[in-house]
Amino acid sequence: MIWREHMPLRDVAWFRTGGVSTAYAACPDVASVLAAVTEAKMQSLLFRVIGAGSGLLMSDSGFPGLIVHNQSQSLVFIHDRSQVIVDAGMPLHQLLAQTLSQGYGGLEFLAGIPGTVGGAVYGNVTAFGSQFGDYVKSATLLFPETTGDEAIQRVEGAWFEFGYRESKLKRYRQTRDSAFEPVVLTVTLQLSKMNHASCVHRVQGFHNLRRAAGLPSDIHPLLEVFDCLRWAHKQSEVSHLTHPRHLDQPVHFVDKSLHKQWKLNDVVVASDNPNYIINTKVGTSRDAALLIEKVCTTSGLDIEPTIEFVGVWQ
């Protein structure tokens, strides 16, 4: 584990913005994640566990506590069950490559999507009619508020109560003290044996769908800040959010002819898909937040940003 005091978050944040955190821990394995959380509790430090951070906007004022950067990337196949046990810190593109190499299918829809396994569980990554939660057999979680043998527990996939781009973990953060939010350590995925060439063909197909929809691939500094499908659900007054197949095509919230007007310093709305913003050079989180607010106001639509704002915001 690498521990640093007063860490500039722009050096590790996906969007390349953010102030200074009180402390930062880079954790290459599950044991160091546990050690970092334990140290935070001993020092009475607020902490936040992150993976790639592709759904987070770090405040320019920093984070008053410890950022635990989960970089654990171990993976083990259980071939007689067509399962894989993977650490939460593994990037999704690496997970996809590893499963394809072993002839397992199901996760092809992850092609071009940024993030890590832990974030995919937390936000139930969803694309083109498929969702990550459908493949979660079980997971190992750390419950920071408990001690002893009960601190680490194995839960079944149903425990997460997956919904459209959300899980119990995400709802937990929204409704309770985030200091006690369970931390994903490892995830067991149920896959299927498939023909390798067929899987590769499906991956290429999803890449083509993303390009046709104007959806950026696994690049940064870029953030998806609006969710056309969630907004469409709200307008349809659908109480239980699932992914509607008739809405697989993107619905842009903003008039693409006006995208050049939606720019604040070095942060701009993506021209191909205005649900995204890009940090072109040295933009700030404040620039991003103000631009997001401008889009929400000028669009005339009742939309909410999908990203989470981390740290101290004024």
146 within some domain? yes
DSSP-derived secondary structure for 135-199: GEEEEEEE-TT--GGGGEEEEEGGGG--BTTB-HHHHHHHHS-GGG--EEEEEEEE-EE--HHHH
Summarize the confidence of residues 298-302 as an average pLDDT: 70
pLDDT at 242: 43
Same domain, 221 and 116: no
| Nearest CA-CA partner of 224 in 169, 289, 173, 274 | 274
pLDDT at 219: 61
Summarize the confidence of residues 92-116 as an average pLDDT: 96
Same domain, 34 and 121: no
pLDDT at 237: 46
Q: What is the CATH number of the domain that holds 299?
A: 3.90.78.10
**What is the identity of the amino acid at 211?**
R
Give yes or no for residue 248 having a pLDDT over 90.
no
Segments forming the whole domain that contains residue 10: 2-70
**CB atoms inside a 10 Å sphere around CB 89:** 27
Summarize the confidence of residues 262-280 as an average pLDDT: 88
Mean pLDDT, the chain, integer: 87
185 within some domain? yes
Same domain, 113 and 127: yes
212 within some domain? no
With a CB cutoff of 8 Å and minimum separation 6, the contacts of 289 are 57, 309, 313
pLDDT at 246: 39
Same domain, 20 and 133: no
Q: What is the CATH number of the domain that holds 155?
A: 3.30.465.10
pLDDT at 179: 61
207 within some domain? no
More confident residue, 250 or 81: 81
Cα separation, 91 vs 89, in Å, equals 6
Same domain, 108 and 190: yes
pLDDT at 239: 40
Same domain, 66 and 93: no
Domain end among 70, 85, 119: 70
More confident residue, 276 or 10: 10
Bridging pattern class, strands 136-142 and 183-190: antiparallel
Same domain, 79 and 189: yes
179 within some domain? yes
Same domain, 82 and 168: yes
Please write the tens of the pLDDT for every residue from 194-225: 999 999 999 999 999 888 877 766 566 889 88
| % of the chain at pLDDT higher than 70 | 85
Query: pLDDT class for 132, splitting at 50, 70, 90?
Result: very high
Number of domains in the chain: 3
Summarize the confidence of residues 278-301 as an average pLDDT: 88
Same domain, 80 and 182: yes
More confident residue, 40 or 225: 40
Same domain, 40 and 81: no
Summarize the confidence of residues 7-18 as an average pLDDT: 97
Least confident piece of the model among 128-132, 187-191, 233-237, 274-278: 233-237
Summarize the confidence of residues 300-312 as an average pLDDT: 84
HSE (CB half, 13 Å, CA atoms) of 183?
A: 28
Give yes or no for residue 259 having a pLDDT over 70.
no
Give yes or no for residue 62 having a pLDDT over 90.
yes
Same domain, 234 and 305: yes
Domain end among 35, 54, 70: 70
208 within some domain? no
Least confident piece of the model among 141-150, 172-181, 259-268: 172-181
Same domain, 110 and 185: yes
Give yes or no for residue 92 having a pLDDT over 80.
yes
Cα separation, 8 vs 21, in Å, equals 7
pLDDT at 295: 83
Q: What is the CATH number of the domain that holds 51?
A: 3.30.43.10
